[in-house]
Amino acid sequence: MKNIPTIKLSSGFNVPNLGQGTWYMGEDARDRRAEADALRVGIDLGMSLIDTAEMYASGGAEEVVAQAIQGQRNNVFLVSKVLPSNASTDGTIKACEESLRRLQTDVIDLYLLHWRGGYPLDETVAAFEALIKAGKIRSWGVSNFDVDDMEELATVAGGSAVGVNQVLYNLKRRGPELALMPWCSARNIPIMAYSPIEQGRLLNSPALASIARELETTAASVALAWVLNQKGVIAIPKSSNPDHIRHNRNAADIKLTSSQLDALNNAFEPPDRILPLEML
Ligand SMILES: NC(=O)c1ccc[n+]([C@@H]2O[C@H](COP(=O)([O-])OP(=O)(O)OC[C@H]3O[C@@H](n4cnc5c(N)ncnc54)[C@H](OP(=O)(O)O)[C@@H]3O)[C@@H](O)[C@H]2O)c1
């Protein structure tokens, strides 16, 4: 097994390009221990970037993450998110403090605005800067920002410090390839691809199944390997199932051939015009 390749964020941190998501974790108290154990399996396999949010299970997912990283905070790169409805300057600071309490840590490595809401961007960026100064976050970024949002952010004081843009990106959602990804790439802003296997809906694709047979792996591993093949992209699949997590980890070791990439391009055509960014 090779090491998972790393990506350097504009903030200077090196992170694995394959991490773990947590949406829908923490919903049911009876599942929490297994979910935390599953995250630990992933961390042990090098998928040490963990993505969570105050929104997930209304803070419950952050509590699961706290359980998973107990005794190994320094092995993990923690990402959480503030809801747009909390994203005023004071609201962002308060939301972050609540997340830190649930995560049982002093600092979040990367703190994102979950999507654009009603508060002006300069208010949220001012809060992010204050949180960095106070040592409560190490860097910040955005999520679900299309090119026009990124351009507006660039005009805000301090806005160019944005660390990543987390967006919906997978074989079925290739819209960002035409404008958003080149825009971010030109500024060295990595894309964090959420729902990289389309929440499981990609897995019955015959094209993926056929390549999976060739490589003696699963459709999920192939779908993830395709995402990881894109430059400057970090994928954060969510799984609470240790077998699935091992298959997801295997994706980092797969090098798709040009004929396999052609087959995927035929089955999942790249966009022929710029489309608005989709979100889940
Ligand atoms: N910023 C945003 O607005 C936003 C939006 C959506 C998601 N996200 C983040 O991105 C993460 C990932 O996205 P997602 O959770 O929406 O979707 P996803 O990672 O594409 O898919 C998760 C689903 O696929 C299943 N799965 C995972 N690996 C599998 C495998 N190897 N084989 C078969 N099934 C597999 C999981 O079930 P099992 O648990 O049973 O494996 C789960 O039902 C989220 O958890 C969240 O952290 C962010």
Confidence of residue 11 (pLDDT cuts 50, 70, 90): confident
Residue closest via CA to ligand 1's atom 14 equals 195
> What per-residue confidence (pLDDT) applies to 12?
87
Confidence of residue 157 (pLDDT cuts 50, 70, 90): very high
Q: 245 pLDDT exceeds 90?
A: yes
Residue closest via CA to ligand 1's atom 16 equals 195
- Residue 240 Cα to ligand 1 midpoint, Å, equals 9
Confidence of residue 210 (pLDDT cuts 50, 70, 90): very high
pLDDT digits (tens, 9 = 90+) for 188-207: 999 999 999 999 999 999 99
Among residues 123, 96, 98, 97, which one has the least CA distance to residue 112?
96
> What per-residue confidence (pLDDT) applies to 90?
98
Confidence of residue 171 (pLDDT cuts 50, 70, 90): very high
Ligand 1 pocket test: which of 81, 110, 238, 280 has the largest number of ligand atoms within 8 Å of its C-beta?
Answer: 238
Q: 10 pLDDT exceeds 90?
A: no
Mean pLDDT calculated for residue range 31-53: 98
For each of the domains in the chain, give its residue range(s) and CATH number, in order of start: 6-201+233-241 (3.20.20.100)
Confidence of residue 2 (pLDDT cuts 50, 70, 90): confident
Is 56 considered catalytic here?
Answer: yes
> What per-residue confidence (pLDDT) applies to 199?
98
Q: Do the strands 233-235 and 14-16 form a parallel or antiparallel pair, or are they unpaired?
A: unpaired
Confidence of residue 141 (pLDDT cuts 50, 70, 90): very high
Residue matched to tokens 């699935």? 244
> What per-residue confidence (pLDDT) applies to 31?
98
Mean pLDDT calculated for residue range 112-124: 98
Mean pLDDT calculated for residue range 42-46: 98
Which residues lie across from 78 on neighbouring strands? Answer: 50
Atom of ligand 1 nearest to the CA of 220: 31
Catalytic residue, candidates 56, 119, 169, 194: 56
Instruction: Please name the helix (run of DSSP H) or strand (run of DSSP E) that holds residue 266, with its range, or none.
Output: helix 258-267
Locate 278 and state its tokens: 């989709």
| Long-range contacts of residues 246-250, Cβ cutoff 8 Å, at least 24 apart | 246/41, 246/45, 247/217, 247/218, 247/220, 247/221, 248/18, 248/42, 248/47, 248/220, 248/221, 248/224, 249/1, 249/4, 249/18, 249/42, 249/45, 249/46, 249/47, 250/217, 250/221
Instruction: Please name the helix (run of DSSP H) or strand (run of DSSP E) that holds residue 111, with its range, or none.
Output: strand 110-113
Q: Distance between CA atoms of 61 and 68, rounded to whole angstroms?
A: 11
Q: What is the pTM of this model?
A: 0.98
